[in-house]
Structure 1
Amino acid sequence: MNDLTAQLRAFAEDRDWQQFHTPKNLAMALAGEVGELLAELQWLTPEQAAAVMDDPEAGARVRAEVGDVMIYLTRLADVLGIDLEAAAVTKLAEVAVRYPVQQVKGSATKR
């Protein structure tokens, strides 16, 4: 993660784009890219969505959109000073407490 963060920071700095990389702008760009990822899967059946990477063209589009999402999320975390990996680990620990295995296994009910 540190290497990717450094590469993205340098990419923005080299182009003098950090002035545009405000938290609001990055969050909006992230939401847009998530929307583009959703558009790739929107009308697929669950089975088609699970197999989307088997299709070279569709898989390439999905891979590109996932890449865009990762780039904007990583850049947003960097600008806000968030350790992305630590944030995810902390969140996972919180969710594990909220959803104990013995109480929720096999259920999608939200608590």
Structure 2
Amino acid sequence: MTFDRLQRMVADFTTDRAWENFHTPKNLVMALTGEVGELSELFQWLTAEQSQVIMETPSQRARVEDEVADILIYLLRLADVLEIDLGDVVEAKVQKNADRYPVSKVYGRAVKYTEIDSE
């Protein structure tokens, strides 16, 4: 399924309920932030090891999947309201990050681009 199709589905869901007036950029960002918080809560007190196997428990998997879906729904709606082409901006950002984090300098290292030694 494409971003465009998902955005249309979410927009139709919104229109069918006459919720457009509530979906301002501010409200959508706040809702998105809340959903990220709910996802964070599922991982909050887990060890690194526990967080890597959370999806093995069906009830936990369902909770994580619901929160991830909520996050994507709000992000899709925000992009739609702001007229952002998600495919284009993701492609551009990945290229920007590729330039900022060249494989030859960061392979296997978690460093911020400002910490990369310049040649």
- TM-score, normalised to structure 2's length? 0.91
- 1:13 aligns to what? 15
RMSD of Structure 2 on Structure 1 (CA): 0.7
- 2:38 aligns to what? 36
State how 1:2-81 maps to structure 2 within 5 Å.
2-81=4-83
Question: Which consecutive residues of structure 2, in runs of 5 or more, have no partner in the other structure?
Answer: 114-119
Between structure 1 and structure 2, the one with the greater Rg is 2
**What CA distance in whole angstroms lies between the structure 1 residues aligned with 2:69 and 2:61?**
12
Structure 1 stretches of 4+ with a deviation exceeding 4 A read none
**What CA distance in whole angstroms lies between the structure 1 residues aligned with 2:52 and 2:94?**
24
- 2:97 aligns to what? 95
Q: How many residues align?
A: 111
Alpha-carbon distance, 1:11 to partner: 0.7
**What CA distance in whole angstroms lies between the structure 2 residues aligned with 1:60 and 1:99?**
34
Alpha-carbon distance, 1:3 to partner: 1.1
Alpha-carbon distance, 1:86 to partner: 1.3
Question: Which consecutive residues of structure 1, in runs of 5 or more, have no partner in the other structure?
Answer: none
- TM-score, normalised to structure 1's length? 0.97
* SS of residue matched to 1:16: coil
**What CA distance in whole angstroms lies between the structure 2 residues aligned with 1:84 and 1:52?**
29
**What CA distance in whole angstroms lies between the structure 1 residues aligned with 2:104 and 2:56?**
35
Alpha-carbon distance, 1:99 to partner: 0.3
